[in-house]
Structure formats: C-alpha cells, structure tokens
C-alpha cells in the first residue's frame, strides 16, 4: 500500500477514542497500514504530541480488540501520531496544517497521499471541505480522500446542499461516506451468502420468499445525546441510513461479476424501485413510537420525555416500524418490514428471511403445522447465520422446527471501523454509501419526516423493555405475518 498521511479532524472526540484509534492500532498489528504512515490528529485545544500520544495509549488500553501483551507495540504505534491544533473555522490554521504535513512528508518520505477523516460535528463538514481545498491541502501529486461520518444532512434538501459543497472539493470517488453498519462483517457477508450458495441464490426472489424482516433494537435510551437525538429521532438516526442500507444489501441482485461498481449500482436499483410513500399514506405503513417508563434487565427506567434535555411535550420518535415494497421483478409482492427502537427488551440486529410455506396445510396432523423455513442473519452482537427447517422428533413423531446454526464471534472478528478504514486506505469504496444511495434514501424518507413533523399519525407510547408498541405487530398481522 502506498505511503499516506491520515489527517483526523476531531482527534480528541469520543468516536476517535472509542473506535478510530483502536481500529488503526489493530490494522497496525495486522500489518495492514502502509509502510510509511503518519496520523495527524487535529483538534481545537492546545495539546503537545506527548499528551496526545498518552491519550491514544489510554484509548487503546481500554478499547482495543486485540489484547496487547506486549506494550511495546503501543509505544511503536503512538510514535506514528502527531497533534496539530486547528480551529476548523479559521482558514489560516489550515495553511499551518499544510506546512506541517509537507514537512512530515519530506522527513518521512511519504508521498503526497492524503486522507482527511472528518469526525466532527456535521455542521462543520462543508466548511472543512472548502477550507481543505482553499488552503491547498488537497492540491497533491498523490491521492486525496475524504472520509465522513454521519449524519449526512438532516433531510433531502440539506443533504443535497452538503453534497454540492463537498463536490466542489472532492470527486464522488474520493468521498467515503461511512455507514458503520456496512462495516459489520455479517453485512459484508451478505453478498457472499447470496452469491456463493446456489441454493440461496435460487430461492432469493418473490417465488420463494414470503417476507423479509430487518430489526435493529437497542436497550439503551437516549443517554447524553438528547441535544442531537431529540431533533433526529429513530427515523433519521437509524432508518434513513443504517436500516435502508441493510435493506439494499439484502435485496440487491448481484450480477455474476462482483465489483464495487456492480454492488453500488445494484443497491441504487433497489432504492429506485422502492415504492414511494405519499405523506397521507404514511399512517398505513409506518408506526411511530416513543418509550415510556418500564424495566430493563430488572431495573426501573424513566420514559423518554423525562430524560435530561428532553421536553415533557416532545413528540420525538424513539421507535419506527415500517412496511416497504420493492417494485421490481425479484421482489414484487414481498413486504420488507423494518423495525428499530431504543429501550427495547433486547439488543440485536438481525435480518430474517421468511420463506413461503406451501406445505403448511398439507402437513396438518394433530394440530401440527409445518413452521415456515427461516433464514436468520445475525448481524450483532453475535454474528452468524441460522436456518430453521422442519424435522420429525424421533421420540414423539411430531414435526418440530430445528435450527441449523453457524455463528462466529469473539475477538478475532475485526470491528466495522477496522474493515472500513482499511478499505478506504486502499481505495476500495464498496462498503461506503454512494451519494445516489444517500439521496434516494432521503427522498424515500422525506414524506415520513413531514408526516411526523405535521403530527398526522399517532405517536404510540411503549413500555421500556418491550419490543415496541402493539401497532408494530398489527403492521405484520394484517398481512398474515408476525415478527420473528
């Protein structure tokens, strides 16, 4: 891999500490960083290189996936890290940064390949991109790349505006929009699952699949993020990005040759085939909920509108369930159900594919029903695939569902940020969101945002520790299904 300077904006922030340094360190241990590599952390406060390196060390000792037996690896790694004070609103500071980078490129014989990672508040994204351009930071003889965190806009218009600004400084193929769900190993495995298994490939369509259910549930509440979350809600925080990405990854039909362009264009085709919702129809296809008080793992918790920083009158959504139709030849007539919420009774992300069940009535015997075949893709916290089949219990002769299970988990599985940063370093944008995917997602979600804003559908309270409000079950029940 070519030498590179990795410039991290937001180097003293929470995400850098919990995810980005540990990911870079694990890549270092696995020999997956370029031979000549320098990390320049950029932050607003004054900090010496030594202090910066001590912070990184602490973050690695707390959050690194690999158990570090030999502390000397940490010492070696932190020598790759320098700090540079910069106020993102001050144009002059970027020129100083350029001097520092050029000097280091010279001293360490690093080619002018520069990665800019924006791990700062989203209101700074466009300003930083323009300053990178104006200061000359992006005028390189090598490559220049921009990695950018979510949220990418807060509605269709603002995302288009942001994209326009970024496009003035970077080409589309230089922009790596992070959706960390795309970095999860099981999500990256979806293409292989569908493609390397002829039995699944043959069944991956509306002739055999009855419905698809995608759930991402959390047990935590809003925590200390009310300032952001109360304006975003589950619809912006989860549905517009992560849930629709999971849907695209599940529903795409890959041509035989798998390339970045193929994958991205198939995902875009899925988004183009999503049946648009009109604002007036939202009430029939979307359930909006907010957690009330309840119990999580035996402890009492307060309701959302009593959380610090949340107004008692808040109508923010902490739960969204929706029915989505994909109007193309593969999926016509197959409902996709999406569900996500906070303060639910369990934390998991999984995709359940329920197969059609023509034998259901044939096999009726002593009230026995053949259960539908299910393919369950567990994304987190456990990674794995399981298949529910029907089998006769030899003891009583009853037909019973059995589960064939493959799971992998543990410290050997790389974290999402590791996989994503590695891909970006070598210029592979397969598992990053293309602008078109982001724009089509906002476009699909926009009428829902407006319906929520205008309060034209009910906000259902659900007890903390449940799986959301009952109308979410009704959403499936009217179609003859249930959540698995």
In angstroms, rounded to a whole number, what is the distance separating the alpha carbons of residues 202 and 213?
20
Residue 294 in contact with ligand NAD, rule: CB under 6 A? no
Per DSSP (E only), the strands in 110-268 are 114-118, 144-148, 175-177, 209-217
Kindly state the smallest distance separating residue 126's Cβ from ligand NAD, in Å.
Answer: 13
Nearer Cβ to ligand NAD, position 44 or 315?
A: 44
Q: Is 65 annotated as a binding residue?
A: no
Strand order of the β-sheet with 37-43 is 81-85, 37-43, 4-9, 114-118, 144-148, 175-177
* Window contacting ligand NAD (CB under 6 A); options: 149-157, 162-170, 273-281, 288-296: 149-157
Q: Buried b vs exposed e over 128-157: b needs ≥16 C-beta within 10 Å?
A: bbbbbbebebbebeeebbbbbbbbbbbbbe
DSSP state at residue 274 = B
Nearer Cβ to ligand NAD, position 120 or 424?
A: 120
Q: Is 300 annotated as a binding residue?
A: no
Q: Is 360 annotated as a binding residue?
A: no
Q: Output the residue with the shortest Cβ distance to ligand NAD.
A: 13
**CB < 8 Å & 24+ apart, contacts of 476-481:** 476/211, 476/213, 476/337, 479/211, 479/323, 479/335, 481/210, 481/211, 481/335, 481/337, 481/354
Residue 303 in contact with ligand NAD, rule: CB under 6 A? no
Kindly state the smallest distance separating residue 480's Cβ from ligand NAD, in Å.
Answer: 37
Nearer Cβ to ligand NAD, position 119 or 240?
A: 119
DSSP state at residue 326 = B
367 C-beta neighbours (distance < 10 Å), count: 6
Residue 380 in contact with ligand NAD, rule: CB under 6 A? no
- Footprint of ligand NAD on residues 85-144 (CB under 6 A)? 86-89, 119-122
Active site residue 72: no
In angstroms, rounded to a whole number, what is the distance separating the alpha carbons of residues 410 and 425?
25
Interface with ligand NAD (CB under 6 A), residue from 1, 2, 12, 142: 12
Do β-strands 374-380 and 383-392 pair in parallel, antiparallel, or remain unpaired?
antiparallel
Residue 147 in contact with ligand NAD, rule: CB under 6 A? no
Q: Is 10 annotated as a binding residue?
A: yes
Q: Is 150 annotated as a binding residue?
A: yes
In angstroms, rounded to a whole number, what is the distance separating the alpha carbons of residues 454 and 250?
32
- Footprint of ligand NAD on residues 31-50 (CB under 6 A)? 43-44
Residue 10 in contact with ligand NAD, rule: CB under 6 A? yes
Q: Is 2 annotated as a binding residue?
A: no
Half-sphere exposure of 375 (CA within 13 A, CB side): 17
Task: Decide: helix, strand or coil at residue 147.
Answer: strand
Q: Is 184 annotated as a binding residue?
A: yes
Give the per-residue contact string, 385-404, with ligand NAD (x = CB under 6 A; - = no).
--------------------
Give the residue numbers annotated as catalytic, written as ranges: 242
Q: Residues annotated in the binding site for NADP(+), as ranges?
A: 10-17, 44, 87-88, 150
Interacting residue ranges for ligand NAD, rule: CB under 6 A? 10-16, 43-44, 86-89, 119-122, 149-151
């Amino acid at each position: 891999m070519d030498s590179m300077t990795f410039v991290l904006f937001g180097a003293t922030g929470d995400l850098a500490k919990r995810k980005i340094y540990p990911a870079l360190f694990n890549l270092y241990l696995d020999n997956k960083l370029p031979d000549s590599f320098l990390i320049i952390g950029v932050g607003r406060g004054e900090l010496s290189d030594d202090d910066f390196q001590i912070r990184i060390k602490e973050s690695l000792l707390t959050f690194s996936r690999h158990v570090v037996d030999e502390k000397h690896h940490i010492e070696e790694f932190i020598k790759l890290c320098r700090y540079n004070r910069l106020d993102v609103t001050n144009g002059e500071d970027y020129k100083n940064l350029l001097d520092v980078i050029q000097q280091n490129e010279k001293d360490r014989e690093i080619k002018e390949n520069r990665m800019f990672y924006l791990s700062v508040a989203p209101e700074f994204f466009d300003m930083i991109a323009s300053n990178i351009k104006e200061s000359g930071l992006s005028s390189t003889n090598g490559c220049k790349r921009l990695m950018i965190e979510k949220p990418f806009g807060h509605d269709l218009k603002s995302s288009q505006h942001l994209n326009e600004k970024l496009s003035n400084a970077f080409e589309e193929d230089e922009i790596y929009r992070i959706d960390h769900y795309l970095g999860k190993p099981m999500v990256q495995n979806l293409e292989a699952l569908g493609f390397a298994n002829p039995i699944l490939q043959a069944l991956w369509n509306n002739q055999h699949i009855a419905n698809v259910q995608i759930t991402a549930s959390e047990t935590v509440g809003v925590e200390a993020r009310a300032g952001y979350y109360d304006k975003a809600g589950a619809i912006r925080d989860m549905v517009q990005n992560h849930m629709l990405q999971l849907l695209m990854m599940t529903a795409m039909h890959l041509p035989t040759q798998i390339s970045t362009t193929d994958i991205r264009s198939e995902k875009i085709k899925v988004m183009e085939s999503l049946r648009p919702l009109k604002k007036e129809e939202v009430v029939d296809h979307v359930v909006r909920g907010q957690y009330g008080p309840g119990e999580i793992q035996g402890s009492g918790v307060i309701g959302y509108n009593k959380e610090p920083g949340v107004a008692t009158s808040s109508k923010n959504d902490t739960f969204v369930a929706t029915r989505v139709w994909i109007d193309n030849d593969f999926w016509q007539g197959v409902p996709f159900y999406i569900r996500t919420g906070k303060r639910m009774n369990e934390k998991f992300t999984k995709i359940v594919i329920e197969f059609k069940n023509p034998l259901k009535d044939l096999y009726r015997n002593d009230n026995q029903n053949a259960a539908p075949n299910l393919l369950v893709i567990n994304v987190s916290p456990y990674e794995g695939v399981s298949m529910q089949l029907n089998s006769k219990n030899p003891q009583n002769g009853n037909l019973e569902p059995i589960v064939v299970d493959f799971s992998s988990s543990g410290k050997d599985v790389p974290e999402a940020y590791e996989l994503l940063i590695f891909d970006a370093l070598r210029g592979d944008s397969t598992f990053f969101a293309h602008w078109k995917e982001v724009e089509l997602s906002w476009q699909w979600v926009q009428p829902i945002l407006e319906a929520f804003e205008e309060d034209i559908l009910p906000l259902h309270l659900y007890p903390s520790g449940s799986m959301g409000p009952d109308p979410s079950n009704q959403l499936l029940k009217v179609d003859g299904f249930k959540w698995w």
